[in-house]
Amino acid sequence: MLNKIRQGLAGHHPLKNPQIQKRASVLIPLLEADGELFVMLTQRSEQLRSHAGQVSFPGGKQDPQDANSLETALRETNEEIGLPQEKIEIIGKLDQILSLHYYLVTPFVGLIPNDFVPVPNEDEIEAVFKVPLSFFMNSEQHWTEEFKTPIATILAHHFEFEGFDIWGLTAKLILRLLEIGLGHVPDFPVHHPDSPTWMERTLDYSGEELPFDSKALRHFEQRKVHR
């Protein structure tokens, strides 16, 4: 599986949106263990002001001192879970994605050691856990909800894993990784049939911060991990 993902990512050259100044990056950490490929995820602290308690990849906003998007992803990963950049082999990147707060997020895919023991930053991270990548190819633990945003009507994907709700941007990037790396097409629609794909919306977005429906925004922000 890893070799196929390497090949898929090597041939994937996503376009970039040069218009958005608010930028962030994430790392999608993969590791091999016991003959299986896993993705490592974090659960954000309940004390954070935004996305509290949600499942995400390590990453965050780009700082002025960061030389580029990759440096942001590596720095944030080290700060959040104690993984030094020399332990990460970057094997590719996925399409940029627009966050709920209009940040342009660049996702990098990296292979990490299977014996890595996370050291979570307790101010930001409540838990670090890994999920078999094959789990996301089984739709039995998947469900979808629909939301209207100022840009388009979107589908929010959810995967339930051992009490964690893996959803939103994180779920979209995992589905995109499976598509690009393995050619996997799920048996449910990934994009809303009446709207552009999230990749197209990201490329077309000019940087204007449009007002988000307050009720929908509260729903997004107040979602908690199922326990």
- When divided into structural domains, the chain yields a total of 1
Does residue 173 lie in a domain region?
A: yes
Does residue 30 lie in a domain region?
A: yes
Mean pLDDT of the residues in the chain = 89
Does residue 223 lie in a domain region?
A: no
| Mean predicted confidence (pLDDT) in 79-98 | 96
Residues contacting 186, CB < 8 A, separation 6+ = 137, 139, 142, 175, 178
Looking at the chain, the whole-number percentage of residues with pLDDT higher than 70 is: 88
147: closest CA among 95, 91, 195? 195
- 98-155 pLDDT, tens per residue? 988 889 999 999 999 999 999 999 888 999 999 999 999 998 889 999 988 777 888 9
* pLDDT confidence of residue 195: 92
Q: Which of 32-36, 72-76, 92-96 has the lowest mean pLDDT?
A: 32-36
* pLDDT confidence of residue 226: 38
CA distance 4 to 2: 5
- 109-122 pLDDT, tens per residue? 999 999 999 999 98
Burial class (CB in 10 A: 0-12, 13-18, 19+), 88: buried
* pLDDT confidence of residue 152: 82
16: closest CA among 202, 217, 221? 202
* pLDDT confidence of residue 50: 53
Does residue 206 lie in a domain region?
A: yes
| Mean predicted confidence (pLDDT) in 47-54 | 58
Domain that holds residue 62: 2-217
* pLDDT confidence of residue 66: 94
Contact 3/180 with Cβ under 8 angstroms? no
- 186-222 pLDDT, tens per residue? 999 999 999 999 999 999 988 776 665 444 545 554 5
Contact 63/23 with Cβ under 8 angstroms? no
CA distance 206 to 185: 30
Entry pTM? 0.90
Does residue 227 lie in a domain region?
A: no
Does residue 39 lie in a domain region?
A: yes
Instruction: CATH number of the domain at 135, please.
Output: 3.90.79.10
Does residue 27 lie in a domain region?
A: yes
Does residue 92 lie in a domain region?
A: yes
